[in-house]
Amino acid sequence: MSAEAWWIGLVVLALILFFMETQMPGMGVFGLGGAVCLVVGAFMLSGGNPAVVGGAAIISAGTLALTVKAIFEARRAGRYASPTDPKRLIGQIGTATTALNPRGSVLIAGEQWTALADSGKPVAVGERVIILEVEGLVLKVFKADED
């Protein structure tokens, strides 16, 4: 197999690695490997032609920049609670839609939830409650006007 075939193989491998980075984003390993393969393959294929190597370097730098940006955004997104996580409701104020004696329903954030009055005292329909704890899909609440 000729040397040119190996260098063309490096460029093709770079494209495959870039594609894999978009499909299986992780820690940027595929993107980094693709950038290295592209620059080395372009350098060897072109015989060191500055225009070709420069173009490959620009493409690699852009791909690496996008990969690094995606990694930082993924890490930042991981710090925030999921909008579907019930734990986000702790400390929120809701309204009893049925009497809680001690179990009933509350409306909070536009959603109907099963609730359990934590103090054991009944909560009347329409009274405001504060979410104290979440156990599965049941909220432990207490009256908002209680101390």
Q: Quote the pLDDT of residue 106.
A: 93
Phi-psi group of 70: left, alpha or beta (phi > 0 → left; psi -120 to 50 → alpha; rest → beta): alpha
Q: Is the pLDDT of residue 147 over 60?
A: no
Average pLDDT of the chain? 81
* Better-scored residue on pLDDT, 128 or 68: 128
Inter-CA distances, 127 with 20, 73, 107, 108, 124, Å: 54, 41, 11, 12, 6
Give the whole-angstrom CA distance, residue 14 versus residue 98.
62
Q: Quote the pLDDT of residue 82.
A: 59
User: Model-level pTM?
Assistant: 0.44
CB atoms within 10 A of CB 25: 14
35-93 pLDDT, tens digit each? 888 778 877 777 777 887 788 778 778 877 877 787 788 777 766 655 667 777 888 89
- Find the DSSP H helices in 27-128: 29-46, 50-78
The 10 Å CB-count burial string (b at 16+, else e) for 47-77 is eeeeeebeebbebbeebbeebeeeeeeeeee
